[in-house]
Amino acid sequence: MDPHVIEAGWLRLRPFVPADIPWVYEVSLDPAMQQFVQLPSPYRMEDAAFFVEEIAIAGGTTGRRLELLVEETATGASLGRVGLGLGRKGSSEIGYWVAPEARGRGVACDAVRAVCRWAFVELDLELIEWRCEVGNLASRRVAEKAGFLIEATLRKRLVHRGTRVDAWCGSLLREEAL
């Protein structure tokens, strides 16, 4: 997949580059990230390098993933990440996180809306799915504000640190986002 930059007003969503590794490492040490994101523990710089180089960059070249770093347009400050799993025809699954210092500013919601609108048009998607571990209220609030319909609680659907946990799931249809 060709590298994409999505301009979204005060935010720019751009492909990851190796220089982003130290920032990913720092953000991934955050306790909220450790609680709800499937991360190695302890988290090491090598883990951040693997995410950036093998998942974000290499995954984009295969067309199976689109991982974008969210930065503030005016300052270039790194604020978060939004990603799409693209393995199925016509649909994808979205994931996102925001650096602790950027939370509460609408970063995730604006980035999710932007990438969803872009994906519905540019990738001709019909459906984007969202899932998170039950209890991750911040992720759920973002999904709801971005227009996702929360459809169900799925029992033991996710695995977090080797333990099956319940998941909230939702979806956004093309006609709801455009």
- Level-2 CATH architecture, domain 6-126: 3-Layer(aba) Sandwich (3.40)
Whose tokens are 């209220």? That residue is: 137
Amino acid at 47: D
Report the candidate in 157, 156, 152 with the shortest Cα–Cα distance to residue 168. 152
pLDDT of residue 13: 98
Domain range annotation of the chain: 6-126
pLDDT of residue 61: 82
Measured between its terminal Cα atoms, the distance across the chain in Å is 23
Running along the chain, 178 residues long, what does each successive block of 10 average in pLDDT?
81 98 97 91 96 92 91 98 91 97 96 97 96 96 98 94 95 94
pLDDT of residue 1: 46
CA distance 12 to 73: 6
Per DSSP, the residues of 137-175 read: HHHHHHHHHTTPEEEEEEEEEEEETTEEEEEEEEEEEHH
For residues 16 and 49, the answer to whether their CB atoms sit within 8 Å is no
The two structure tokens encoding residue 118:
């872009």
